[in-house]
Every structure is written in structure tokens, then in C-alpha cells.
Amino acid sequence: MDAAIPTLAQAARALATGELSSVELTRACLERIERLDPSLNAFITVDAPGALAAAEQADQRRARGEANPLTGIPLAIKDLFCTKGLRTTCGSRMLEGFLPPYESTVTARLRAAGAVVLGKTNMDEFAMGSSNETSFFGPVANPWDRTRTPGGSSGGSAAAVAAGLCVASIGTDTGGSIRQPAAMTGITGLKPTYGRVSRFGMVAFASSLDQAGPMTRDIRDAAMLLQEMAGHDPMDSTAIDTPVPDYGAALERSVRGLRIGVPEEYFGEGLHPEVRAAIEQVTRVYRELGADLCPISLPMTRHAIPTYYIIAPAEASSNLARYDGIRFGHRCDQPKDLKDLYARTRAEGFGAEVKRRIMLGTYVLSSGYYDAYYRKAQRVRRLIAEDFARAFREHDLAVILTPTAPETAFRLGEKNQDPVSMYLSDIYTINVNLAGLPAASLPCGLDARGLPIGFQLIGRPLDEAAILTAGHAYQQATQWHLASPGEQP
């Protein structure tokens, strides 16, 4: 990345010392967006006037001695978070012109900390996709190779960080949508424990799986963002009411003696040899740092894809029923009657992938199929969670280490006609969401074509600190997180 756009920690130090003002930093980001984003399509909405006004307020706040580490930091927000008065589309025609009347808890907390919102980033429609190609606003290109996907659904947020269009960004993760694009764009992405971060104002795809998290250059930046994002929210019934630890302190701990599990099921057929070699090198680094690595088994892994693609579409079918052309969002022209209004509004407003998942979800919830599919999937989900719990308990593990994705970034359009192949892009990340665990993806190499490779660290429930400790130790010992794509205006 161009040194003109620093990491979050670097920017916070420069702002604190007066070396840099928030207005200067924000203008630099806006200039890069104007120059580079036409070829990336990472943003759906850019709010330059609002960002500059917020930057001026941040500088004034700092002058009064009221600043904290996020004050004046320019961020990009996935277009799935409601932002009062700023368009929120979810990458869909259905919400193309929607202006939310309220603010999500995540963005409200970041704004309260003084962060500057540059705009809203592109995404797969309603977060349904693994390549950022289902967006009504067009696909996002990978900054490392513009003929390739940045991953999805948080592809716009990932591309914006990788290309230096913002200091950091916020994404969401339902089955790997923070971690998989982080791996494909060479950045760090952290999915917290389910319930650690409020979902209020985050437009729902699958309510029992969705979770917001930071997407940053390195794990230190992720810790800084998570510190402000995490915490109980009375507006969200799924938010966990438990104290938020000092994530910064976790960065300074040693990994000597840390127990790391390596599951054999994640290294079988389908894993690209270059990705396998990179992950094996990661294990060697941890051994040199004094960590204790041990082989483990997670036998329920093979059931992850079918389980996820029953539960997630079922919840999507329910959540997306609200888009009917009556209350908000797209409405078809001149409907003949109420039935025509519903049918044509939803046919026009939703894209092909969203329709596919709504239909699948409605089917598995229907009379006669609920017990055969949905109820059985929920039972398997419990077994998947127990699989992880058993491994952590029996081997006394701090974290589990796996690949993030089976391959590096594939070409745009390569998998559009093969939904199952696209779904397999998340084969190593989906289990984590089904079990509600925290996990992060960190860069660990480049393949022969110069495309990033990522590895995944999975933690115990609410133990994001262990992931931060292990991730920071790795990044202190390596330099893959410093690698950046060349500029291609």
C-alpha cells in the first residue's frame, strides 16, 4: 500500500503528535478514491462533504483534548449498516435509494469515538455471495489483479483497505464474508464471537450467523477497532452482556507454550498446493516462536456446507419477506393488484442469487420438509459446535489454525454458472459461524501469480484476545501484512 495512507495505529500516532490532521488524511483518502476507485468499484456511495465535515470536527475535538485513538480516522463502512441520512443499499436494487432514519449501533459507536465515515462499500447483494459479483452496482475488482475477485460478500471493504482508499473498514461475516475477502486481498479480517458486537441496524441476512467485524492492514488495527465496536447493546437481544477486555494488552503477550491445534480435515482434497505450502510455513514460524502445535480432528467439518446452505437460506427467506413494495424500498410501476405488486416488486428488486436462496429457504421451511431439512440441520449445527468445544477442551487449545480459503482469488465470472463451486469458497470458514466462534484471517504469502494467501486462527467463545495474541506474534515475525498491490489507476 502507498505509504501516504498509514495503518490505523500509525495514523493515530501522527494525529496525536500533530504531524497530520484529520482533514489532511481524509482528503488524501478521498483523492485516492477519486483516482483509483473507478477501476475497482469498491464504493457504492462516497460522502465527501460529510467526511470532511466530520474530519474538521475531529480536529477541533483533538484541539480541545477530547480525542481517543479513533478520533479523526477515515473509515469505510460496508453498505449493510444503516447510516442515518446516508444511503444504505445492501448492494441491491431493492434498496437503491433507501435513506435510513436511524443509525446502526456499530457506526454510532465509531462516530461517537470520532471516526470519519468516508462512505459505503460495495458488497454482494444482501451479503449473499463469495465473490462480490452479485451486487446490483456491479462487481468489485481485486487491487492485486483487476481481472479477479476480491472475495465476498465484504469485497468492497477488503478492496478499499488493500488499495489504500481508507485507513480501515468494517465488514460483516455470515459464513466467511470478512475472512475470505481478507485472504484474497492480503489484509487482516476479524470476525468476533457471535453476540460480541451489536447487530442493531445491520441489515439481516441470516440472523443467527451474521456478525460485524474490522478489516484492517494488520491485527493491531483490528484490535483498536474492535475495542470500540464490542460491547453489550440493549437494542440487540443477541448481544452478549459481558465485559470487553483490553484487546491492546493481548497484543503484547508471548506465544511461547501457546497450544495451537491443526485439524487434519482442513488439509484434504480441494486445498491448492500453494496454499497448503504457505500454511505449512505458518506452522513452522509458530514453532520457532515457541508455540506448541498439535494435530486435531474436527470430523463434523464435512457437514458444514450442506448445514449452512439449509440454515442460512431459511433465515434469509424469513428476513427478506419484509421487502414487499409496501413500506420501503423498490416498488414496481402500476401494479394490477396486491398480488401483482408483491410478485413484480420482488422479481424486479432482487437479483438471481438472492432469489435462489429465498426459494431454497422457503422450501426447507415448508410443511413436510421442515423436519427433514431445517430441524436436522440445526441438530448437525449443534454437533459442529460440540466438535470445536471438544477439541479445545481435550487438547487445551488456545487457538486452531487452518487455511482461510482453498485457493487464491479466482477470475471474475469464473464461477458464476456453478453456484456449488462458488459455495465451496467458504468451506473453511462456515463452521466458525455455525459454532458462533471468533476467528481471523491474516496474510501469509503470495502464490506464483503474486496473489495473496491467508490463514485462519479460530478461538474459543469470547476469546478474541487469544487470536490477537497469536496473530500479532506472527505479524511481528513476518512481513506478509506489509505487502501491497501496485497502483493501477
Catalytic residue list: 78, 153, 177
The residue ranges of DSSP E strands in 66-225, in sequence order, are 74-78, 116-121, 168-173, 188-191, 211-216
> Which residues lie closer than 8 Å to 288 by C-beta, 6 or more apart?
477
Place of cell 482469488: 409
**Residue 238 exposed, middle or buried by CB count within 10 Å (0-12, 13-18, 19+):** middle
Q: Give dist(CA 409, CA 394) in Å, integer.
A: 35
DSSP 319-379: HGGG-SSSSSS---SS-SSHHHHHHHHHHHHS-HHHHHHHHHHHHHHSTTTIIIIIIHHHH
Contacts of 57 by beta carbon, 8 Å cutoff, 6+ apart: 114
**Alpha-carbon distances, residue 420 vs 202, 306, 427 (angstroms):** 27, 10, 11
Give dist(CA 461, CA 201) in Å, integer.
23
Q: Are 75 and 69 a contacting pair, CB within 8 Å? A: no
Angle at Cα 349 formed by Cα 345 and Cα 354, nearest 5°? 120
Strand partners, 212: 172
Q: 439-446 and 399-403: which strand pairing?
A: unpaired
Three-class DSSP category at 188: strand
